[in-house]
Structure 1
Amino acid sequence: MTPPRIVVGLTGSIGMGKSTVAAMFADLGVPVFDADAVVHALQGPGGRIVPAIEAAFPGTTGASGVDRPTLSAAVLNDDAAMRRLEAIVHPAVGEERARFFADRIDAPIVVLDIPLLFETGGDGRVDKVVVVSASSDVQRARVLARAGMSAAKFESILARQMPDAQKRARADFVIATDVPLEQTRSAVARVVACLAPREGR
Structure 2
Amino acid sequence: MIVVGLTGSIGMGKSTTAAMFAAAGAAVYDADAAVHDLYRSEAAPAIDAAFPGTVIEGVVDRKALGARVIGKPAEMKRLEAIVHPLVRAREIAFLDAAKTSGVRVAILDIPLLFETGGEARVHAGVVVTAAARVQRARVLARPGMSEETFAAILAKQMPDTEKRRRAHFLVDTGHGKPHADRTVRAILRALAGLG
Q: Tell me the TM-score range normalised by the shorter chain.
A: over 0.9
Once residues 186 and 78 of structure 1 are traced to their aligned partners in structure 2, the CA distance between those partners, rounded to angstroms, is 40
Once residues 123 and 24 of structure 2 are traced to their aligned partners in structure 1, the CA distance between those partners, rounded to angstroms, is 19
Q: Percent identity?
A: 53
- Per the TM alignment, residue 64 of structure 1 is displaced from its structure 2 partner at its CA by 5.6
* 1:56-67 superposed matches below 5 A: 56-63=50-57, 65-67=59-61
Match of 2:89 among 95, 100, 107: 95
Give a deviation string over 1:73-122, Cα, whole Å, max 9, x none: 10111111111100100000011011101111121110000000011110
TM (normalized to structure 1)? 0.94
Letter in 1 for 2:51: F
Give a deviation string over 1:152-186, Cα, whole Å, max 9, x none: 11011100100000000010001100002111100
Match of 2:44 among 23, 41, 50: 50
Match of 2:125 among 105, 124, 129: 129
List structure 1 segments (4+ residues) > 4 angstroms apart after TM superposition: none
Match of 1:16 among 12, 18, 23: 12
- List gaps (5 residues or longer) in structure 1: none
Match of 1:104 among 76, 98, 109: 98
Once residues 176 and 67 of structure 1 are traced to their aligned partners in structure 2, the CA distance between those partners, rounded to angstroms, is 33
Match of 2:80 among 83, 86, 106: 86
Letter in 2 for 1:82: M
* 2:69 matches 1:75: yes
CA contact (8 A) 2:4 2:126 kept: yes
CA contact (8 A) 2:6 2:127 kept: yes
Match of 1:28 among 20, 24, 33: 24
Letter in 2 for 1:139: Q
- Describe the SS at the equivalent of 2:174: coil
Give a deviation string over 1:17-66, Cα, whole Å, max 9, x none: 0001000000011000000000000002xx11100000000000012600
TM (normalized to structure 2)? 0.97
The total of aligned residue pairs comes to 193
CA contact (8 A) 2:44 2:58 kept: no
Greater helix percent: which structure? Answer: 2
Letter in 1 for 2:65: L
